[in-house]
Amino acid sequence: MAIKIGIVGYGNLGKGVETELALNPDMELTGVFTRRDPAQVPSNAAVYPLDEITDFKDKIDVLILCGGSKSDIPVQAPVLQQNFHTVNSYDNHAEIPAHFDSINETALTNQTVGVIATGWDPGLFSLNRLVAESVLPKGETYTFWGKGVSQGHSDAIRRVAGVKLGVQYTLPNDDLITEIKEGKEVSYTKTSSHKRVCYVVPEEGADKEGITKDIQTMKDYFAEYESEVHFINEAEFYQQHTGMPHGGRVIRRGYTDEANMAVYEFSLDLDSNPQFTAAAAIAYARAAYRLAQEKQYGAKTVFDIAPAYLSPKSGAELRKELL
Amino acid sequence: MAIKIGIVGYGNLGKGVETELALNPDMELTGVFTRRDPAQVPSNAAVYPLDEITDFKDKIDVLILCGGSKSDIPVQAPVLQQNFHTVNSYDNHAEIPAHFDSINETALTNQTVGVIATGWDPGLFSLNRLVAESVLPKGETYTFWGKGVSQGHSDAIRRVAGVKLGVQYTLPNDDLITEIKEGKEVSYTKTSSHKRVCYVVPEEGADKEGITKDIQTMKDYFAEYESEVHFINEAEFYQQHTGMPHGGRVIRRGYTDEANMAVYEFSLDLDSNPQFTAAAAIAYARAAYRLAQEKQYGAKTVFDIAPAYLSPKSGAELRKELL
């Protein structure tokens, strides 16, 4: 019998979950839950008002929470956790410990499973940071993001006066990556190791120099980085800059003794960031379903879940085909 | 209190475990067990005859089995499993399912934990094959090995008449790797995707043409591959070809919808293959110790072990530092 999934929130991530579920024959989409008017949500699945979701308590195995990390997940997740097994892609790294504790308490009280912070960073990148440092205790781990579109930074550009359309690409410092893998001593900080490149369509008659200055001096977003601003026209924007590619890599340069280096690297190159994030959440939804069947209640992260739970295959199949 | 480790077998892997244990302050080496005369084993630890190992049943937490996969592990592992929690790096892929069943039965009967087939392939490569196909069900997974030294093939060269010294490097087809990542359709087979390059020091007066022919036509080792043979002198061999580097990569090219590709890649570049294999076995020995404390007996693989068990850090530390 298929695992019955509910989607909460139908932005890019929610749409991605609907798309990726079609690739997983052991799962089925029961419905999409929204705060909007359900008639306005362009899903192929049944769409229901979010405030009716409790009626689906016995009709859904796992809810995948697709709201934003800034204001949706912190509010929705603890409430939904009372009645449902959930998976989310909460990505506010600094707040993850508190989010874990909150979900864990509710999940244990209500005998539910809540898998938090899936996706790729946090998520698969975190998993690789853990495995890399466990196997290679002597060494340094580096994370690089991009080339890819940062939604948060693109949103920030669009809030600048005079900006009609805008997108921001994060680019890693490829020379630094090469030096790390060659064993050279490098000085890595998140800001010095990435560049931010912005493509902006200005409003008619807008002050381009002013826009550039406003972007390049924006604190916490651009001021700390080498940031470029390029002006383009609307046609070019729609032709070349509407995709949502992203990716990056985790590298650990370890030493197995004084003379011997070991470079451990995990990388992703994604045409669609939200679709891949959705695909990861779905694999962890499969795990959540199984953990619930085994009554392993509480909050879980990618660190707490044995990889076999992610696959629809049996242990014997996995050992024969993939080990 | 430190986790007490015993090493069974003191070849390259056993030496590697001794070296890597020094990098893990939560572990200590209780002793090395050997079939040789203990006086002849150049370890810094206490060395004991293997046939006295049962006396150490209550003095060792986990045994790391470092014998060969061909004839040592299949014989030793099921016997030692009766009295000890064990970790091995058994790498005979075709026989792993049977090995798992054998260890599992003995481990369940005797309430012990046996983690089999750790290392990198099988091991971390297997783990990534599983995660990659679980997250990206639509796609293809490719494994490439090298550049690195294959011990089995180097041994095979040295058995050829007229060969004094020899080493074999496995090289991946880099063009094919590029094509896969670019989304091109490729025809991958293990044999067509790798090249074998041999460096041979001939005995004085040996028939070089004969040696080349004997190597290039050797079934199951070289005949199926593009295989090169180069003759070098003894000085060059000792200067340039005594290291044991290896590595490789697992690539899954997945599709998150008809238009969007996702390239998942895991790679290792190792100056010392046996030291890294030892380092991985040690992380899984930590997991074995904890599983035993939780009475989760039986055979386990990298698929069955939650990543957090590999790290000496607490769950809270991991969430704060690495998620």
Q: Looking at residue B230, which CATH number applies to its domain?
A: 3.30.360.10
Are B198 and B215 in contact by the 8 Å Cβ rule? The answer is: yes
Same domain, B69 and B203: no
Q: How does strand B194-202 pair with strand B163-172?
A: antiparallel
- Judge whether B149 lies within some domain: yes
Residues A131 and A162 in one domain: yes
Last residue of a domain, one of A270, A289, A312: A270
Residue A117: its chain B contacts at CB < 8 A?
323
**Beta-carbon count within 10 A of A233 CB:** 11
Residue ranges of alpha helices (H) inside B111-252 are 124-135, 151-158, 174-181, 208-216, 234-240
A33, A45 Cβ separation under 8 angstroms: no
Residue that terminates a domain, selected from A228, A248, A270: A270
Task: Provide the CATH number for the domain around residue A105.
Answer: 3.40.50.720
Say yes or no: A153 and A234 in one domain: yes
Tell whether the model's pLDDT for residue B242 goes beyond 90: yes
> In this prediction, what percent of chain A has a pLDDT beyond 90?
97
CB-CB contact of A262 with B270 (8 Å): yes
A101 plus A187 within the same structural domain: no
B residues 253-292 near A, CB within 8 Å? 254, 256-257, 259-272, 275-276, 278-280, 282-283, 286
Mean pLDDT of A207-214: 97
pLDDT digits (tens, 9 = 90+) for B161-175: 999 999 999 999 999
Same-domain pairing of B129 and B265 = yes
Indicate if B229 and B253 belong to the same structural domain.
Answer: yes
Nearest to B307 among A96, A130, A320 (CB): A130
d(CA B12, CA B31): 16
Share of chain B above pLDDT 90, in %: 97
A93 touches chain B (CB under 8 A): yes
SS3 category, A199 = strand
- Name residues whose C-beta falls within 8 Å of residue A189's C-beta, 6 or more positions apart in sequence: none
pLDDT higher than 90, residue A286: yes
Contact B272 A283 (CB under 8 A): no
Query: Is residue B239 domain-shared with residue B135, that is, in the same domain?
Result: yes
Within-domain flag for B240: yes
Last residue of a domain, one of A270, A289, A310: A270
Mean pLDDT throughout A150-164?
93
Nearest to A244 by CA among A174, A173, A168: A168
- Shared domain for A240 and A300, answered yes or no, is no
CB of A180 less than 8 A from some CB of B: no
Q: What is the pLDDT of residues B309-323, one digit of tens each?
A: 999 999 999 999 999
Based on the fold, state whether residues A205 and A240 are members of the same structural domain: yes
Partner A contacted by B52 (CB < 8 A): no
A132 Cβ under 8 Å from any chain B Cβ: no
Strand order in the sheet with B148-149: B148-149, B163-172, B194-202, B226-231
Residue B238, C-beta contacts closer than 8 angstroms, at least 6 positions apart = none
pLDDT of residue B1: 86
Taking the C-alpha atoms of residue A220 and residue A198, their distance in angstroms, rounded to an integer, is 15
Torsion-angle region of residue B162: left (phi > 0), alpha (psi -120 to 50) or beta? Answer: left
Same domain as A32, residue A156: no
ipTM: 0.97
What's chain B's average pLDDT? 97
In angstroms, rounded to a whole number, what is the distance separating the alpha carbons of residues A300 and A13? 21
Please check whether residue A16 is in contact with residue A31, taking contact to mean a CB–CB distance below 8 angstroms: no
> A286 and A201, same structural domain?
no
Residue B98 at interface with chain A, using a CB cutoff of 8 Å? no
What pLDDT was estimated at residue B305?
98
| Count of structural domains within chain B | 2
- The residue among B148, B181, B320, B313 whose CA lies nearest residue B252 is B181
* pLDDT value of position B152: 87
Q: Are residues A165 and A222 in the same domain?
A: yes
Give the structural domain span for B160.
124-271
At residue A30 the predicted structure's pLDDT band, cuts being 50, 70 and 90, is very high
Average pLDDT, chain A: 97
On whether the CB atoms of residues B57 and B44 are closer than 8 A, the answer is no
> How much is the pLDDT for B220?
87
What's the CA gap between A254 and B229, in Å, rounded?
33
